[in-house]
Structure 1
Amino acid sequence: MITTAGLRKSYGGVTAVRDATVEVLPGKINALIGPNGSGKTTFFNLVTGLIKPDSGTVHYRDTDITGRSPHRIAHLGLGRTFQLCRIFPRMTVLENMLVAVRRTRLRELLAGIGNPAEIERARGWLRRTGIEHMETAEARELSYGQQKLLELAAVLMAEPELILLDEPAGGVNPALIERLVTLIRELNAEGHTFLVVEHNMDMVMGMSDHVIVFDRGAPICAGPPRQVRSDPRVLEAYLGV
């Protein structure tokens, strides 16, 4: 679904991503792992248009999206979450859901006017993520794990085909991680492709179909979890053995 060829990004004398040729398999739960500083989030930002590559290309299906703006890429069917939640803390949970849909103008939202169909769809996603009981609460009142579920629910309002999750389990308690994994599997079964950056290896190896490993900015291995887990390059670079 996503293919990159020779992707490279440097900041001064530091190369964050180098010669990254990667394939994200359609219809699968793909994971991207690697040590801290190995270029995973930079790779996400290159794919989603937040930063432009120094060289190389990014294709979504058959479309070259290299260097396109984030909103143009999102309109093609890509959605993403961030390491640190990007929500509107003083808006209610339901308002956060509705503002994610461009058809709802902010002025109308603040005036209490909303599209009934969009409101019902938003409530449906809140039910799926298990936070429907918080719809009238301000987003800042949610736990950190609930805020991550809200961010994902807001992404789903745009009906993306490909969902990129940047450390969804970071700072989240085990019960919410289990709920998140269940939701990812359900959404994948319904046709959504995932690319997940995550340090929780039990989560990654338990739910992923395809794992990509980065080290020092470049992919060093890709394949099914069992194959990746035993690859000597991964053991050396990621596990330090």
Structure 2
Amino acid sequence: MTASLETTDLRKAFGGVTALDGATVRFRHGQVNALIGPNGSGKTTFFNCVTGMIRPDSGRTTYRGADITRKAPHAIARAGIGRTFQLCRVFPRMTALDNVLAAVRPGGVLGGLRGARSRAQTDRAREWLTRLGIEHLTDVEARNMSWGQQKLLELAGVLMADPETVLLDEPAGGVNPALLDRIGTLVRELNAEGRTFVIVEHNMDLVMSISDHIVVFDRGRPIAEGPPSMIRTDERVLGAYLGV
């Protein structure tokens, strides 16, 4: 299976705390990949290093064979990687439509504040809002939405930029069951259309139901990987989660 996103010996420490300890990982192209592990195992730090939010102390990240280790976040996004955040990032005083359009407007947020928009972009933004089931919030400011609705809005903005690979950081966190089902269904639909996913998530029901391939982290490095059927019974995984 071809690797979409790959790291080699990725390391990152914050003071005396080692967050990533030689993480060598291959996420499979065209699949729904999951990255799981106990709290503090380095999952979000891994996402931050891969997407250029922070720089690793050492190691290498490649995407579709190209080295992206030292690239800036905007360059990594242009290469085809989009991501959401554990604490979702939306513009609270902008409407849902303007939040989505900000992802593709010239000048980003400043372009959005100036009201620059094209008919084609506006139509596409509305299509994503509809597909995520929040079209009724088109003209509502993000600050007036529920947490789950804001997560869907953030994802709509990411998808508006048309990434080939999407990294989702805890999409189920704080989301009600109805919205959670919508996210799971959407991930599988988008994957069937050709997008690769890497999902950090603690909701094991969601992980096991939508993932093709799972990587398990503990103490900053992978300890197991494989399909859900294998991960469910892996003794190393049970030990990391349950301390047995």
After TM superposition, the score normalised by the length of structure 1 is: 0.97
* In 2: Cα distance, 1:43 partner to 1:120 partner: 35
* In 2: Cα distance, 1:64 partner to 1:140 partner: 38
Change (3 A) 1:105 1:71: closer
1:231 maps to what in 2? 234
Q: Which structure 1 residue ranges, 5 or more long, are not aligned?
A: none
Please show how residues 100-115 of structure 1 align to structure 2 within 5 Å. 100-103=103-106, 106=109, 109-115=112-118
1:2 pairs with 5, 10, 19, which one?
5
Contact 2:98/2:112, CA 8 A, preserved across alignment:
yes
2:25 pairs with 2, 22, 27, which one?
22
- Report deviation, 1:238: 1.6
* In 2: Cα distance, 1:215 partner to 1:194 partner: 21
What SS does the corresponding residue of 1:238 show, helix, strand or coil? helix
What SS does the corresponding residue of 1:79 show, helix, strand or coil? strand
1:148 maps to what in 2? 151
- Report deviation, 1:112: 3.9
* In 2: Cα distance, 1:205 partner to 1:166 partner: 16
Change (3 A) 1:134 1:6: same
Q: Which structure 2 residue ranges, 5 or more long, are not aligned?
A: none
Please show how residues 155-170 of structure 1 align to structure 2 within 5 Å. 155-170=158-173
**Identity across the alignment (%):** 64
What SS does the corresponding residue of 2:154 show, helix, strand or coil? helix
After TM superposition, the score normalised by the length of structure 2 is: 0.96
Contact 2:12/2:58, CA 8 A, preserved across alignment:
yes
2:135 pairs with 132, 136, 139, which one?
132
2:70 maps to what in 1? 67
Contact 1:104/1:114, CA 8 A, preserved across alignment:
no
1:31 pairs with 30, 34, 37, which one?
34
Aligned residues: 241
* In 1: Cα distance, 2:198 partner to 2:82 partner: 10
What SS does the corresponding residue of 1:211 show, helix, strand or coil? strand
- CA deviations 1:203-237 (Å, max 9, x no partner) are 00111000000001110001001101111100100
Change (3 A) 1:114 1:219: same
